[in-house]
Homo-oligomer: A and B are copies of this chain.
Amino acid sequence: MSSDHEAASTDLIARRKRLLGPAYRLFYEQPVQFVRGEGVWLYDPAGNAYLDAYNNVASVGHSHPHVVQAIARQAAVLNTHTRYLHETVLDYAEKLLATFPAEISQIMFTCTGSEANDLALGVTSALAELSPSLGLPMPKDSHARLVPAPRSAGDDTGDIFARHVRGALDDMKKNGIRPAGLLVDTIFSSDGVFADPAGFLRPAVEAMRAAGGLFIADEVQPGFGRTGEQMWGFARHGLIPDLVTMGKPMGNGHPVAGMAARPEVLAEFGARSRYFNTFGGNPVSAAAGIAVLEVIESEGLIENARRTGAYLRGQFQQLQARHPLISEVRGAGLFFGVELRHGGPTGRPAASETAAIVNMLRERQVLISAAGPQANVLKIRPQLVFTTEHADLLAEKLDQVLQALK
C-alpha cells in the first residue's frame, strides 16, 4: 500500500469514528477500504484485487448482474408492503418453499436474520404459553438454557451434544420451565464450524421433541447452498425442522430475511397474533430473492459448492500434512473451520497465530476471518462461485503465510 493510500485510509478511519461513534469495529490491524466488487473479487481504491474467501452475504458473487438488474427493475416499478396484494412476494415464497421438504410450506418475511430468529422465538413462546403452566413465577430472561457446541467431529459428537441438551431439559423441568424449542445454527458457525459427522444433530432434536419442544434450524449462515450437496444445513442431518430462519445470502446483500414453518406451528400463532414488517417481503426484496435463487440454479452453485469445497478441503488437508499448526480441518461445502493448535488436536489453542494469519492474508489480498470461543479457528467461507483456480490461490497464500510463521 502506498503512503498516499495509507494517509487516505487514516483520514477515513478518523472521519468514521467522528461520525459513527465508538461502537463500530473494523476488520484487520490495517483496515481495508473497498470501492468495487465483482464475483469473488473486491477492489481497493488503488485497484488492487482481493480474493474474497470470507463474505457469505454476497454469496453468488459481488454485484451479480442478474440480482442487480432484478433490484433495479423492480425498484423502478413499485416498492410497497405486504398489506396490499402483490404477486412477486408470492412468487418468491413459492420458489423458496420449493427448496424445502414438503412439510415446511409457509414463510414469513423479515429484513434481517436477527428479526427472523426473534420471530421464531415469538412463535415458539406463543405455543409454550398455550400449555398448562406449572405455576411457578419465573423472570423472563431465565427461560433460556445455553448448551455447549460440539468440540470436534467424532463418532460420539451426536451423543455428547444430545447429553447436554437432555441435561438442559432436566434443569428446565426442575425449574418449572416448559421447553419451547431447540434453536441451532446447523453448522455452528460462530462456535468454530462443526458439520460432521452428518446426522449428529438427530439425537438432540429427538430429545427436544420428546420433551414437547420444537426444532428451529438457524440457516442464516449454512443456508442457500453454502454446505454443498443440499440447499439447507439441516438436510445434512436428515432432519425436518419445525421452523427455519434464514438471512444473510438471501438477497446477495439486499436486506431480506425470513422464517419458514410447518403450517401447524403457525396456525395458533396466526390466530392470536398479527404480523407486519414495514420493509419485510416488499416487492424489491422479493425480486432480489428470486434472482438469487435463479442464479443458484442456473449456475449450478450448490454442485459447485460441493465440488470446489471438496477440492479446497483436499488443499487444506495437504497443508495440514505440512503444517503441524493445523490441528483439524472441518466444514461442509464452502464453509470451513481450520483449527490451529500447538502440538496437535489436544494442544494449546493458537489464537495469536490465528489472528496473525488473518492479517497476513489481508496483506496478501486474501480475505478470511477467525472464529471459535478461543479464537483459534480460521473461518473460511468463499463465495459460492469459487473455482479451483481461486481455491489454488487461497491455498497457496495460506501456505506462504503458514511458512512465514514458522
Chain A residues within 8 Å of B, Cβ to Cβ: 9, 12-13, 15-16, 18-27, 31-37, 42, 55, 57-58, 62-63, 65, 67-68, 71-72, 75-87, 89-90, 93-94, 97, 105-109, 111-115, 139-141, 247-248, 252-255, 261, 263, 266-267, 269-271, 273-279, 281-282, 284-285
| Given A55-B80, A276-B25, A107-B75 contact (CB < 8 Å) | no
Measured CA separation A93–B18 after assembly (Å): 10
Q: Please tell me if the beta carbons of A266 and B22 are within 8 angstroms of each other in the complex.
A: yes
Q: Smallest CB–CB gap between A60 and chain B, Å? A: 12
Across-interface contacts of A113 in B (CB, < 8 A) = 278
Measured CA separation A401–B67 after assembly (Å): 44
Q: Please tell me if the beta carbons of A278 and B248 are within 8 angstroms of each other in the complex.
A: yes
The chain B residue sitting closest to A65, CB to CB, is B76
Report the copy number of this chain in the oligomer: 2
Q: Smallest CB–CB gap between A107 and chain B, Å? A: 7
Measured CA separation A18–B109 after assembly (Å): 14
Q: Closest 10 CB pairs between A and B?
A: A22-B270, A72-B72, A33-B85, A79-B253, A23-B275, A255-B279, A23-B270, A19-B93, A21-B106, A255-B255
Q: Please tell me if the beta carbons of A111 and B108 are within 8 angstroms of each other in the complex.
A: no
Q: Smallest CB–CB gap between A72 and chain B, Å? A: 4
Across-interface contacts of A107 in B (CB, < 8 A) = 19-21
| Given A57-B278, A111-B255, A19-B79 contact (CB < 8 Å) | no
Measured CA separation A187–B45 after assembly (Å): 44
